Amino acid sequence: MRLRGADIIARGLARAGTRHVFTLSGNHVMSVFDAALDAKLPLLHVRHEAAAVHMADAWGRLTGEVGVALVTGGPGHANAVSALYTAFAAESPVVLLSGHAPLNELGKGAFQEMAQAEMAAPACKASWTVRSAETLGEDLARAMRMAKAGRPGPVHLSLPSDLLEAQVDAELPAKEDFFPEPGSSGVNEEILDALQKAKKPLLIAGPALGNARGRAVLRQFEETTGVPAVVMESPRGVNDPCLGLLADVLAAADVVVLAGKRRDFTLRFGAAFAKNCKVIEADAAVNHWPAAGKTWAKSPWLEEVRSAIAFRPAQWKSLASRPEGPVHPVEVGRAVQKLLAAPEAVLVADGGEFGQWAQATLQAPHRIINGPAGSIGAALPFAAAAKLALPGSNVVAMLGDGTFGFHSSEIDTAVRCELAYVTVVGNDSCWNAEYQIQLRSYGAARAHGLELLPARYDRVARGFGAHGEHVERPGELAAALQRAASAASSGRPACVNVMIERLPAPVFRRRDA
Ligand SMILES: Cc1ncc(C[n+]2csc(CCOP(=O)(O)OP(=O)(O)O)c2C)c(N)n1
Ligand SMILES: [Mg+2]
């Protein structure tokens, strides 16, 4: 078949079942924009290349399908790379397709020429430049397969513009070529045996099991075996306040299985466990483990761990901010929880101390956080992609005021595409997470460089055509959130700017209980 390179890419993506391509235009990829028309490949265009990758990342996490981002070469690619880091740490299946200077001009100082594959490589499972138009389809299928196979993660392909514009004789890969073979069974008798013999066993899962499907698998595993299974996906590790008193039970465990969870800084490289604890590192294929068959005998340990994780200070229930404000983050959480009560609701939490407060105070069937990368800024693209993946669900993004600035122009994308989420900005006019470090490490007299304006982010949102609410006093919160939720339910994204108290996020230990 005679095909243009760009048509191979667009038709290949369509054949792989790609439902959206998250993109920002540029000279090198306009042929793919053109080819997308005939391939009926929907393009969703954003305001910054990193946002395209963040959307692909959230899409991958929520749907399990590969999230596809398409950007232009040189600076467009460089902008996109920062977001690969988050997807890589979160083990999210993403393919980044970047336009690239034409092969026949390389080394001559071509427009936006750059060693793109090399630049993306440290944040990818694999990263390469396509070398001939004839293999474009094969390269694309391989990238899509690799993103999902084994431990998922981002894969990058650079697409030289002369290859995209060339006419060649080529066949599109078959549909099944875009998908990996199903993984082999993860059953490991030795691991099951160690868990069964343990008095206080724990299974700690990595971020690839943090989505709703992974959590359902882990719940099933707990039911069959009585072994508590916990997902750890936060850069705060055992200090993640949404895991309550996990640090204490972790220190008491005698056998710990790390299922796709790295023994990294979040577990203090292993120092989070007791000295004589047996630690087994395994892959994330827990889905096969409950096949252990019969239900195991239960011990009170499972309930002990569950209640440790559920621990929150009793005084949070009645905690009240001063009537004149600012609002305590716990009170924000209590009010926002009502928006997340709906089935399939999605909580997006990002950025700084406020993001930690949100994670500690809020529960939702789906949760997307910035993950082990600890990189702030992705919340608005994440929320937009969540609304696209689960259109009927309530999506709430909680983020700090500093974090809001990274991708605030994505409110344009949300309004334009009717991706009606509610975002709640915890506005303490400060990069508070770092301010807290200064207070602890250097003292109040040496705190500097972290002030922000008490800006009206609700008005920023209104400027893009979204609904905006501003809250200074706790008494205004419930009604403002209600109005925001009704704007969202009629298709208009909403931004609630809440002036909050500048507090450090909580860290729980048994002595506090
Ligand atoms: C990309 C990136 N840049 C910088 C940081 C360091 N950092 C972590 S939290 C934070 C402050 C965030 O401020 P804000 O969003 O206002 O939340 P707050 O801590 O004030 O609640 C900063 C600068 C980071 N984690 N990621
Ligand atoms: Mg702040």
Pocket test for ligand 1, best of 370, 431, 500 (most atoms within 8 A of CB): 431
pLDDT digit of tens for each residue in the chain (513 aa)? 899 999 999 999 999 999 999 999 999 999 999 999 999 999 999 999 999 999 999 999 999 999 999 999 999 999 999 999 999 999 999 999 999 999 999 999 999 999 999 999 999 999 999 999 999 999 999 999 999 998 899 999 999 999 999 999 999 999 999 999 876 555 578 888 999 999 999 999 999 899 988 999 899 889 999 999 999 999 999 889 999 999 999 999 999 999 989 999 999 999 999 999 999 988 766 555 555 567 888 889 999 999 999 999 999 999 999 999 999 999 999 999 999 999 899 999 998 999 999 999 999 999 999 889 999 999 999 999 999 999 999 999 999 999 999 999 999 999 999 999 999 999 999 999 999 999 999 999 999 999 999 999 999 999 999 999 999 999 999 999 999 999 999 999 999 999 999 999 999 988 766
State the pLDDT at residue 296: 87
- The Cα 362–Cα 154 span in angstroms is 29
Is residue 67 within 8 A of residue 57, CB to CB? The reply is: yes
Pocket lining: 430 vs ligand 1, CB cutoff 6 Å: yes
Q: Residues with Cβ < 8 Å from 217, sequence gap 6 or more? A: 209, 286, 287, 290
Tell how far the Cα of 219 is from the centroid of ligand 1, in angstroms: 32
State the pLDDT at residue 348: 98
State the pLDDT at residue 185: 54
Q: How many CB atoms lie within 10 A of CB 156?
A: 29
Buried b (16+ CB within 10 A) or exposed e, 275-302: eebbbeebebbbbebbebeeeeeeeebb
Q: For ligand 1, atom 13, which residue shows the shortest CA distance?
A: 431
State the pLDDT at residue 513: 66
Is residue 282 within 8 A of residue 305, CB to CB? The reply is: no
- Return the ligand number nearest the Cα of 405: 1
Pocket test for ligand 1, best of 434, 437, 438, 450 (most atoms within 8 A of CB): 434
Helix ranges, 375-476 (H): 379-389, 401-404, 410-416, 432-442, 457-463
Pocket test for ligand 1, best of 376, 428, 439, 498 (most atoms within 8 A of CB): 376
Tell how far the Cα of 90 is from the centroid of ligand 2, in angstroms: 24
- Return the ligand number nearest the Cα of 428: 2
pTM: 0.95
Pocket lining: 353 vs ligand 1, CB cutoff 6 Å: yes
State the pLDDT at residue 375: 96
Pocket lining: 376 vs ligand 1, CB cutoff 6 Å: yes
